[in-house]
Amino acid sequence: MGANARSAKRYVLGVLRRKLDDCKRINMVKDFFQMMKNVIILVGSPKVKGNTARVVEQVEEILSGKSIDTEVVFLDRLALNPCRGCASCEDTGDCIQKDDMEELWEKVESSDGLVLASPTYYSGVTAQMKMFIDRTGRAKVIWDYKNNLPAGSRFSEGKRAMIISVCGQPGEKWLEGPLMEMRSLLHDLEIPLFSIIKMHSADVGGGLFEGRPETEIDISEATEKFILSSEEILLYPRKSGV
Ligand SMILES: Cc1cc2nc3c(=O)[nH]c(=O)nc-3n(C[C@H](O)[C@H](O)[C@H](O)COP(=O)(O)O)c2cc1C
């Protein structure tokens, strides 16, 4: 290797090392202020270019702009099965079904922010989101309950959550069912919910974004709330009823 190549290599390595140090420093500051480092967004819509996806895209942009690593997972892309109600998890603390759920739980565990996003399908969440809710709710909660462990202890402490709910018809009443379903999972897991994005009338007129500047404002305000996640805006405290 010539002298020029060696000095170029040294230069690149130096830049990379400094970037790494910056990242470490940023993470130390985030740890100190208990700020979020990484967020996983679980999307219940099967449509990667649908309304929920567009809202999620904007949320992801805002999070990334604050140097928060964000991963978006479309549940429809995974091989997931519905809860079979077999109650095996009551005895073993584990689900007997071996599919992509295990890897997904690992991803949730390694994230400090969890976003659940679903459109309304017949007054509830989509089947894809329901699979996540039922399987997670049973396998991660019932064992604790039966063994007198603190609820939600199967996931580590310190997580925080946001919900995104989108429906086609005008009026928030179509969001109530999905919101209740997603909230009840977070409640059982004792993951505090800090912010909710409610979007209705997605199938009316030009949709959520066209001619509706308030959509982007609502999304960005709600996401800022989630990022701040201060006790004052806690939508329900840990260890209380929904
Ligand atoms: C099977 C199905 C059921 C739906 N049920 C409702 C409903 O009960 N209330 C409502 O307001 N919209 C309902 N919608 C409309 C969707 O909520 C709406 O189109 C939403 O924007 C879809 O989100 P997406 O584009 O992210 O998939 C339904 C749509 C489908 C496909």
DSSP calls for 85-136: ---HHHHHSS-S--STHHHHHHHHHT-SEEEEEEE-BTTB--HHHHHHHHHH
Q: Averaged over 213-226, what is the pLDDT?
A: 96
Task: Annotate 125-170 with DSSP letters as a single string.
Answer: --HHHHHHHHHHHHHHHHHHHHTTPPTTTTS-S--EEEEEEE-SSS
Give long-range contacts, CB 8 A cutoff, 24+ apart: 217-222.
219/55, 219/58, 219/59, 219/62, 220/58, 220/62, 222/162, 222/195, 222/196, 222/197
Question: How many alpha carbons lie under 13 Å from residue 127 in its C-beta half-sphere?
Answer: 8
Residue 207 Ramachandran class (φ > 0 left, ψ -120 to 50 alpha, else beta): left
Residue nearest ligand 1's atom 4 by CA: 121
Task: Annotate 17-76 with DSSP letters as a single string.
Answer: HHHHHHHHHHHHHHHHTT---EEEEEE--S-TTSHHHHHHHHHHHHHHHTT-EEEEEEGG
Return the ∠ at Cα 164 (arms to 159 and 168), rounded to 5°.
165
Q: Averaged over 31-39, what is the pLDDT?
A: 77
Residue that the structure tokens 């649908």 belong to? 50
**Which residue ranges have their beta carbon within 6 Å of ligand 1?**
45, 47, 50-53, 119-123, 166-169, 174, 202-203
Architecture per CATH, domain 37-233, reads as 3-Layer(aba) Sandwich (3.40)
Cα(45) to ligand 1 centroid in Å equals 9
pLDDT number for residue 180: 97
How far from the centroid of its chain's Cα atoms is residue 12's Cα? 35
Q: pTM of the predicted model, to two decimals?
A: 0.87
Ligand 1: atom nearest CA of 200 is: 11
Ligand 1: atom nearest CA of 175 is: 11
What 3-state class would DSSP assign to 178? helix
Selection from 204, 179, 169, 208 nearest residue 49 by Cα: 208
Phi/psi at 13 (nearest 5 deg)? -60, -40
Residue 45 in this model has a pLDDT that exceeds 70: yes
Q: Averaged over 220-237, what is the pLDDT?
A: 84
Average pLDDT, the chain: 89
Cα(203) to ligand 1 centroid in Å equals 8
Kindly state the tokens that stand for 77. 């892309």
pLDDT number for residue 240: 42
- Give pLDDT tens digits for 168-194: 999 999 999 999 999 999 998 889 999
Q: Averaged over 62-72, what is the pLDDT?
A: 95
